[in-house]
Amino acid sequence: MTGAVVRPLPDPHAFLARRARWSAPEILFWLSTLLPFWLFPDYLSLASQIAVWALFAISVDLILGYAGIVTLGHAVFFGIGAYTAGLLGKHGWGEPLSGLLIAATAAAAVGFLISFFVVRARHLALLMITIGIVFMAREAANALHWITGGSDGLQGIRIDPVLGRFEFDLWGTTAYGYALAVLFVAFVFCRRLVNSPFGLALQGIRENPTRMLAIGSPMRWRLQQVFTFSAGLAGLAGAVLAQTTETVSLESLGFQRSADVVIMLILGGTGRLYGGILGAVIFLVARDQLSDVNPRYWYFWIGMLLIGVVLFMRDGLLGGLSRLWDRVRGRGA
Partner 1 sequence: MLRRTLFGTALAATLAAAGAAQAQQTLKIGVILPYSGQFADLATQLDNGIKLYVQQNGDTVAGRKIEIVRKDVGGIAPDVAKRLAQELVVRDRVDVLAGFALTPNAMAAGDVSEQAKKFMVVMNAATSIITTKSPFMTRTSLTTPQLNDTLGKWVAKNGGKRAFTMASDYGPGHDGEQAFQKAFREAGGEIVGAVRIPVENPDFSAFVQRAKDSGADVVYVWVPGGAQPAALGKALAERGLANTGVKIVGQGELTSEEALKSMGDAGLGIITAFNYDYTHDSAKNRDFVTAYRRAYNRNPDLFSVGGYDGMHVIYEAVKKAAGRTDGQVLIDAVKGMAWESPRGPVSIDAETRDIINTVYIRRVERRNGELVNAEIDRVERVKDPVKAAMR
Interacting residues with partner 1 (CB under 8 A): 42-43, 45-46, 49, 142-143, 145, 150-153, 155, 170-172, 241, 245-252, 256, 291-292, 295-299
Shortest distance, CB of residue 246 to partner 1, whole angstroms? 7
Angle among Cα 61, 235, 191 to the nearest 5 degrees reads 40
Closest approach, Cβ 22 to partner 1, in A, equals 32
Are 324 and 312 within 8 A, CB to CB?
A: no
Would you say 103 or 223 has its CB closer to partner 1?
Answer: 103
15 vs 171, which CB is nearer to partner 1? Answer: 171
Given the complex with partner 1, which of 82 and 282 has the nearer CB atom?
82
Range 257-282 burial, b when 16+ CB lie within 10 A, else e: bbbbbbbbbbbbbbbbbbbbbbbbbb
* Shortest reach from residue 292's CB to partner 1, in Å: 8
Nearer to partner 1, 3 or 295 (CB): 295
The answer to whether 287 touches 81, Cβ cutoff 8 Å, is no
Cβ-count burial of 301 within 10 angstroms (0-12 exposed, 13-18 middle, 19+ buried)?
middle
* Nearest-approach distance from CB 298 to partner 1, in angstroms: 7
State the nearest-atom distance from the C-beta of 162 to partner 1, in Å. Answer: 17
Q: Which is nearer to partner 1, 68 or 86 (CB)?
A: 86
